[in-house]
Amino acid sequence: MQSELFGHIKGAFTGAHTDRTGRFQSAHNGTLFLDEITEMPLHLQAKLLRAIQDQEFEMVGSDKTIKVNVRIISASNRDLKVMVNRGKFRPDLYYRLAVIPLTIPALRHRPGDIPVLIDHFCQRLAQRGYNSSDLQCSNDAMRMMMDYPWPGNVRELENAVEHGIICATSNEVTAESLPQDIREYNRDNHTAAAHVSQERRKDDHMKRDIEAALKQCDGNKAKAAQMLGIDRSTLWRRMKKIKLA
């Protein structure tokens, strides 16, 4: 990784047959994007800090200092502050990088982006030879994708779009065209919703019966329980459940 970032000179290590320019030097007067910055080992974080702070470094195997002018953009799918608190990331490097921090919410917190991203992925897949530029998406398939929590975020959505295009029938992505995880989540949610709906109907029916009995018995709970064929304690529990007690 050190060689990748800063380059090396010929003979610096076994297999270094020629000089090699690193990413920092290649990005001189430009921008260097460091993705998944938290994956960098601690001992290299110190070298990276110096390169960012002083805009200079040495190639592996060389004592000649090279000066550069590089803008750094870094990214991570982890919380850098948590990593700092756990001793997994240098605090001085974190504060040097966090000049303008941008936090992108998880995809499940911005469902309005899903149709836009789907269209983007379809266009990109069309460039790769997929017949996706004029593909239609059924209402059921779109609803299922909008409801799904996307634990894999945008990458999972991209894979789902590709899966849907491959499995589309008659130039339409249907519910059955989507990956199994999305279909199972939708089925489980429908089952849970149906159960909740059934319980709500039972509670509404129970409430009407209790209210009618209490009205007929002038609010006397003992007589109302007798009319309903239950004991008074059962009546009290039911009234508490439906918020009549």
**pLDDT at residue 194, rounded to an integer:** 52
188 within some domain? no
Give CA separation, 127 vs 114, 120, 123, in Å.
20, 11, 7
| pLDDT of 65 over the 60 cut | yes
Q: Which of 49, 68, 97 is the last residue of a domain?
A: 97
186 within some domain? no
Q: Which of 126, 148, 178 is the last residue of a domain?
A: 178
Residue 91 and residue 114 in one domain: no
Residue 200, phi then psi, degrees to nearest 5: -65, -40
pLDDT tens across 165-216, in order?
999 888 889 999 999 999 999 887 766 555 556 667 777 777 888 888 888 8
Residue 51 and residue 116 in one domain: no
Which tokens hold the place of 11? 């003979």
Residue 168 and residue 205 in one domain: no
Residue 152, phi then psi, degrees to nearest 5: -95, 10
Residue 80 and residue 165 in one domain: no
Distance CA 134, CA 172 (A): 9
204 within some domain? yes
Which of 12-16, 67-71, 164-168, 195-199 tops mean pLDDT?
67-71
**The total number of structural domains that make up the chain:** 3
Residue 202 and residue 234 in one domain: yes
| pLDDT of 164 over the 80 cut | yes
Percent of all residues in the chain with a pLDDT value above 90, rounded to a whole number: 54
Q: Which domain holds residue 72?
A: 2-97
Q: Which of 178, 212, 228 is the last residue of a domain?
A: 178
pTM of the model: 0.61
102 within some domain? no
103 within some domain? no
216 within some domain? yes
187 within some domain? no
Helix (H) or strand (E) holding 34: strand 30-34
Distance CA 231, CA 207 (A): 16
| pLDDT of 220 over the 90 cut | no
**pLDDT at residue 28, rounded to an integer:** 96
